[in-house]
Structure 1
């Protein structure tokens, strides 16, 4: 199914590339939530769903600039108290 302009693609299983993006923003997520996560593994993504242990999940909006603009990765937004099956939407 093609992704609509401004929409999200169907969720996909996270891979090593996605996990590296998630690892790169873990400290920022912990600072914003005031929590320390023993487990912080990407499970699925479109914007991003991150498993943080137990049944607790967060949705992350991660922005990665194009290489011609520096290629930096930044955490733009996050949502707490999500489950693995919560749909990923715009936030």
Structure 2
């Protein structure tokens, strides 16, 4: 849970919802990175409640790990998934920290 309103949660194991968000963002991630992912499995995440929800998601990408920054817009706007950024070539133990790119 977040320590304060609008703060980021602790890092948690992925859920079905987190994998679904990852799957929805996959085309955007592939366009951003120029890669076609065979292995693409969410393993950890953090969340932040804002006007919608922000997610930092650690993804097993096969040879290494990617970190995704994803925004899910409010339900009244259709719960669209918007990729905010990708950090590539991370390790399994590299911490999930907010980033922009």
TM-score between both structures, scaled by the size of structure 2: 0.79
Asked if the contact 1:8–1:89 (Cα under 8 Å) also holds between the matched residues in 2, the reply is no
In the other structure, the counterpart of 1:49 is: 58
1:2, distance to aligned residue in structure 2 (A): 4.0
Task: Show the counterpart of 2:73.
Answer: 65
Q: 1:80 maps to what in 2?
A: 88
1:37 shift after superposition = 1.3
**Gaps in structure 2 of 5+ consecutive residues:** 47-55
Displaced runs of 4 or more, over 3 A: 4-7
Q: By how many angstroms is 1:43 displaced? A: 0.2
How many equivalent pairs are there? 90
1:27 aligned onto 2:24: no
**Residue 89 in 1 paired to residue 100 in 2?**
no
The runs of 5 or more residues in structure 1 that have no matched partner are none
CA distance in 2, matches of 1:87, 1:4: 20
Give the secondary structure class of the aligned counterpart of 1:48.
strand
Tell me the CA shift for residue 69 of structure 1.
2.6
Superposed CA RMSD: 1.6
- The CA distance in 1 between the partners of 2:20 and 2:68, in whole Å, is 13
Q: Compared with structure 1, are the counterparts of its residues 7 and 82 closer, same or farther at alpha carbon in structure 2 (3 Å cutoff)? A: farther
